[in-house]
Amino acid sequence: MRTVKPVLQALEHTGQVRTTHQSINRPEDIFDSFRRWGQNQHAGFTVGYLALHGTPGSVYVGRRKVGLVDLGEQLRAAGTKLPGRTLHLGSCAVLEDEDAVTTFRRAVGLKAITGFTEDVDWLESLAFELLLLDVLTYYRRVDAVERYIENNHKEFAKRLGFTLLRN
């Protein structure tokens, strides 16, 4: 079974990052995870990482499709706010639908969303995500993250269709 736990463990071993892991087994688990992330006691977790299969504007939990626009509306209706936080969608091609992703980002108030516009190889994208998550937790400003990726991993990011959407 493929898992992102080794990436989270590697980040924790640097001593600079605290992580928590939640399994997503039902579409409702995504909603519940975002709702919990928005609670005051989790304000110190400024970067989220959702690793699921995806298609433009949607992620999958098993065979069930979860559209980001609908998820954003549900979260907004529940009063979930995620200001100052960044979400990385470790899913194939989700960011190809920039309008849906932007609508979701605005609905919950995220500072930025990162992800891929292409179908990506799991292991290759996981390697990139290790670099990305380290940078996202090191730099507080999104423009600094963009510059770092551009200066150090431009070709890798381009090959994966990496995109960063922000205010």
Give the chain's domain count: 1
Classify burial at 39, counting beta carbons within 10 Å of its beta carbon; exposed 0-12, middle 13-18, buried 19 or more: exposed
Contacts of 65 (CB under 8 A, 6+ apart): 55, 58, 59
**What gap in Å lies between CA 148 and CA 57, rounded to an integer?**
26
pLDDT higher than threshold 90 for residue 72: yes
Mean predicted lDDT score pLDDT of the chain: 94
Of the pLDDT bands very low, low, confident and very high (cuts 50, 70, 90), residue 14 is confident
CA angle 69, 36, 126 (to 5 degrees): 70
Structure tokens at 120: 């990506």
pLDDT the model gives residue 1: 56
pTM of the model: 0.93
Helix (H, G, I), strand (E, B) or coil at 88: strand
| Domain limits for position 55 | 5-166
